[in-house]
Amino acid sequence: EIVLTQSPDFQSVTPKEKVTITCRASQSIGSSLHWYQQKPDQSPKVLIKYASQSISGVPLRFSGSGSGTDFTLTINSLEAEDAATYYCHQSSSLPWTFGQGTKVEIK
C-alpha cells in the first residue's frame, strides 16, 4: 500500500497570503496524484488532477506541481472561502489511498 503523508497537518493563514501544502508518497507514483478540497459538512471536491492539471470551474489560484514522490498544492492569494481541509489522493496502484488531510484556517 502506498502511504501519502501531507504537511503540515494544520495551517492558519491570513487572507491574500500564499499557501503551500505538500504530499509525499512512500514510493514513486508518477503523476497519479490528485487534490481535493472538503469544506465543513460538505463532500470533497476535486481541485487538481494528475498532479498539475486544472479542473474546469476551479479558481486559477489553485495549482499543483510535482511528480514521482513529492507533490505540492499551492493556493495563491488565499480567500476566506478557501477555509477547508485539503487531501491528496493517489491512483497509481490499488488500494487507492489518501493523505491524512491538511486543515487550512483563516486568521
Rounded to the nearest whole angstrom, what is the least distance from the CB of residue 12 to another protein in the complex?
A: 19
Closest CA to 62 of 80, 44, 77: 77
Number of Cβ atoms within 10 Å of the Cβ of 60: 7
Rounded to the nearest whole angstrom, what is the least distance from the CB of residue 15 to another protein in the complex?
A: 26
Site for another protein in 32-91 (CB under 8 A): 32, 34, 36, 38, 43-46, 49-50, 55, 87, 89, 91
Rounded to the nearest whole angstrom, what is the least distance from the CB of residue 70 to another protein in the complex?
A: 19
Using an 8 Å Cβ cutoff, are 47 and 37 in contact? yes
71, 73, 76, 77 alpha-carbon torsion, rounded to 10°? -140
Question: Contact residues for another protein (CB under 8 A)?
Answer: 32, 34, 36, 38, 43-46, 49-50, 55, 87, 89, 91, 94-101
